Structure 1
Amino acid sequence: MSEEQRNLDRIVRKLGVGNMVELLAEQISGSDLNTLLLEVFREKTKAASAADLLKRYQENRFVKPAEVNPLQMKQLELDILNIAQEHLFAPVQLSPIAPLGSCSIVAAADQNKIISALRGTEVVADATNLLALHVSDGLKSGTLDNRNGFVRFSTTHRHARAQKFKKAPGMLPHFHLFCMVSSGVDQGSYSFEISSFWEHIQVFQHMFQSLFQSEIEVSLSVRGGYKDPEDLVRRILLHAERNSINVAASINPMKQDNQYYKGLQFTIIANIRGNIHQIGDGGIVDWTQQLLGNKKERFMISAIGLDRLLL
């Protein structure tokens, strides 16, 4: 039994309502649950003092400022977003909150590693999930069209995740990510997958060459979810050879079960001030397929951590 389950059992026994979780999750609506919890938190805060508030601040790892220099971070964000825009990835300023379940419903993430909130929301734990919702909403409403060309977006965003990180530079309870997404439809011959992959890689190559005078390496991993993912990865590398794309790319021979990426996952490796970092990753996901109920939809995502580039 996990520690979370033991704690839950203890709480249920203390309150004397054995099926409390089922009652709250299944017997009342989301809006009614929100009303109930709002009142609980109002009573909790009404009973707390200023000293209690300071103690909470001191004990809560999520609320402390980051170590990174904010001026350097803002400048890096501007530089990166400008480079991405040169490559046709339109910048988007996302909300700090997302709909509840944005990561766990389509991406099989653990909801307990997300900071869930009231009013049907959660703190953004992965901006690419929120971008997938933004794109899907636009495609469904008709304000976006990916049938005659890719839809491309980029963003920088401060993320928070409710999971333990080892103490290491850039491994923080809240952190900045630069993210890109590409949306298209299946045209056959892996045309979306090949083109969108190299578009993402060329943005990262431009970024690291310009801002850090560094070259990148790309490690490609085969993932399930495609009929022949090995052929997909082979064609991606063949495209680079035929088009003289000068990026060091290799195939990771290790095969692992992965419910996140479909067909392909890639890792960005960079040398920053003499240190080798696996600075980010990306790949193909089926989120827009799920959101729109259309197997023809294709979606490529990528992200790199920015704090580690400055610490």
Structure 2
Amino acid sequence: MARTDRTARIAASVARSAGAPELVDTLTALEGSALSSLLLEVFRARAARVSPADLLHAAERAVHQPSSADARLLNRFDAAAFGAAAGFEARDLAPVAPLGACAALAGVHPNNVLGALRGAEVLGDPTVPLALEAALRRRDREARRGPPLRLCASARLLRLQPVDAPGFTPHFRLFSLVTAGRDVGEHRFETDALTDHVLVWLRLASTLQRQGFRFRRIEVEISDLEAISALLRAQGVDEDEIRSVAAAHRVGAADAVLAERGVELPSVVDDPRAALGAAHAQLPEEVALRLDRVRERVFPVIAAAYPAVVLRLDLSRLEGLGYYRGLALRIRFHGPAGMLPVADGGVTTWTQALLSDRKERLFVSAIGTELLCKLYRPLG
């Protein structure tokens, strides 16, 4: 929020200096084509003033630098990932998405995505265009009655929020999965999609280990963000405050807020009813049933396929509140860089909003290609 306020103040100051205090509102009210024409001329004039020396200086910025990961290793990773996701239709995404896509669907602030001219923005989240394609292909009611649509993609994206975490850079590659389908009752879609995505990531991990990637213990955390929200409300915690400090690149940042208030959430839950005690009764009935079904349906399948993987139900996760709407997954690999979350995903309401259909369901997830190839790469 502070960064947003600062941007607004700077824009207002520039408008006043130009003698047009209403400049931002005036430009915002322009038709898209008119604004594009105006800005195209502005950028044409600015580009004409750029010298070779200016270019060389600009090329030093991290956002313009090529990835430090070995390109051949990235390609090997992608080959392994597409193999692990053989049940998903592979797509090669456009480098841009419709302007405002990340903000409208994923809630990413526009300041953190590079807006472009002509109604576009540089790709900031590959699951967003995959969700848009799924919605386009499921617009027809007959298509919605068909089987779930499974899509996957490898893509380089750009995020502009300041990040000081090791291994994170402004642009990076992710491999993403999307499953779009219909509510068939008893949380069947959600539990099936969750199982499917986790198994893809574990198949990929097995392949990478055989190729020499250096990670040992693998932990799979399954969470339910609606259950966690209910537990927070029951203890008088303002969920909006938690959202403001919790982020995927700041894992654990929100824990300090809870610690200050003496609030604890269960991180290892064998039996939700027993572990939560009286708090279990405060969960919405549908949420309580969903937790039971995860234990009954999801855990046995994953444990049977990968018995060495540490698998747990975690009701202490704070990252993703308001982003995921129910079940979520997070996978950690232990290796030279420590135990890092490398895959993340969950249920969203994006296709419900796009198709104005509350029965639509969407499960998205992604793994950090760049992170793994930089921090867990094979030796030699």
Same fold flag (TM > 0.5): yes
Alignment of 1:1-311 (within 5 A): 2-26=5-29, 28-58=30-60, 60-85=61-86, 88-140=87-139, 145-169=143-167, 171-212=168-209, 214=216, 216-224=218-226, 228-241=286-299, 243=301, 245=304, 246=307, 247-254=309-316, 256=318, 258-273=321-336, 275-311=338-374
How far 1:276 sits from its partner (Å)?
1.7
Specify whether residues 76 and 241 from structure 1 end up closer, same or farther in structure 2 by C-alpha distance, changes over 3 A only: closer
How far 1:16 sits from its partner (Å)?
1.4
Give the conservation status (yes or no) of the 8 Å contact 1:212–1:272: no
How far 1:124 sits from its partner (Å)?
0.5
Q: Give the AA of the match of 2:347.
A: I
Give the conservation status (yes or no) of the 8 Å contact 2:179–2:362: yes
Helix, strand or coil for the counterpart of 1:68? coil
Specify whether residues 189 and 167 from structure 1 end up closer, same or farther in structure 2 by C-alpha distance, changes over 3 A only: closer
Q: Distance in 1 between matches of 2:219 and 2:288?
A: 20
How far 1:234 sits from its partner (Å)?
2.8
Helix, strand or coil for the counterpart of 2:138? helix
Specify whether residues 181 and 241 from structure 1 end up closer, same or farther in structure 2 by C-alpha distance, changes over 3 A only: closer
Give the conservation status (yes or no) of the 8 Å contact 1:229–1:264: no
Q: Distance in 2 between matches of 1:204 and 1:265?
A: 14
Q: Give the AA of the match of 1:299.
A: L
How far 1:106 sits from its partner (Å)?
1.8
CA RMSD of aligned residues (A): 2.1
- Identify unmatched segments of 5+ residues in structure 2: 211-215, 230-283, 375-380
How far 1:146 sits from its partner (Å)?
4.5
How far 1:141 sits from its partner (Å)?
5.5
Give the conservation status (yes or no) of the 8 Å contact 2:139–2:355: yes
How far 1:240 sits from its partner (Å)?
3.3
Give the conservation status (yes or no) of the 8 Å contact 1:145–1:151: no
Aligned structure 1 segments of 4 or more residues deviating by more than 6 angstroms: none
How far 1:255 sits from its partner (Å)?
5.9
Q: Distance in 2 between matches of 1:187 and 1:141?
A: 18
Higher RCO (CA-CA < 8 Å; seq separation 6+): 2
Helix, strand or coil for the counterpart of 2:357? coil
Q: Distance in 1 between matches of 2:139 and 2:316?
A: 38
Q: Distance in 1 between matches of 2:82 and 2:96?
A: 21
Helix, strand or coil for the counterpart of 1:218? strand
Helix, strand or coil for the counterpart of 1:149? coil
Return the TM-score normalized by structure 2: 0.75
Helix, strand or coil for the counterpart of 2:62? coil
Return the TM-score normalized by structure 1: 0.91
Specify whether residues 187 and 276 from structure 1 end up closer, same or farther in structure 2 by C-alpha distance, changes over 3 A only: same
Helix, strand or coil for the counterpart of 1:291? helix
How far 1:46 sits from its partner (Å)?
1.2
Once the two structures are superposed, residues 95-119 of structure 1 have per-residue CA deviations (whole angstroms, 9 ceiling, x without a partner) of 1111101110122211110010001
Q: Distance in 1 between matches of 2:291 and 2:180?
A: 19
Q: Give the AA of the match of 2:365.
A: S
Q: Give the AA of the match of 2:351.
A: T
Could you say which structure has the higher helix fraction? Answer: 2
How far 1:206 sits from its partner (Å)?
0.9
Give the conservation status (yes or no) of the 8 Å contact 1:205–1:215: no
Q: Distance in 2 between matches of 1:242 and 1:55?
A: 56
Specify whether residues 251 and 135 from structure 1 end up closer, same or farther in structure 2 by C-alpha distance, changes over 3 A only: same
Q: Give the AA of the match of 1:281.
A: D
How far 1:229 sits from its partner (Å)?
2.6
Helix, strand or coil for the counterpart of 2:101? coil
Helix, strand or coil for the counterpart of 1:77? helix
Q: Distance in 2 between matches of 1:173 and 1:198?
A: 31
Specify whether residues 227 and 51 from structure 1 end up closer, same or farther in structure 2 by C-alpha distance, changes over 3 A only: farther
Q: Give the AA of the match of 2:295.
A: L
How far 1:217 sits from its partner (Å)?
1.8
Give the stretch that moved more between structures: 208-217 or 132-141: 208-217
Identity of aligned residues (%): 29
Give the stretch that moved more between structures: 43-52 or 109-118: 43-52
Give the stretch that moved more between structures: 16-25 or 274-283: 274-283
Helix, strand or coil for the counterpart of 1:279? strand
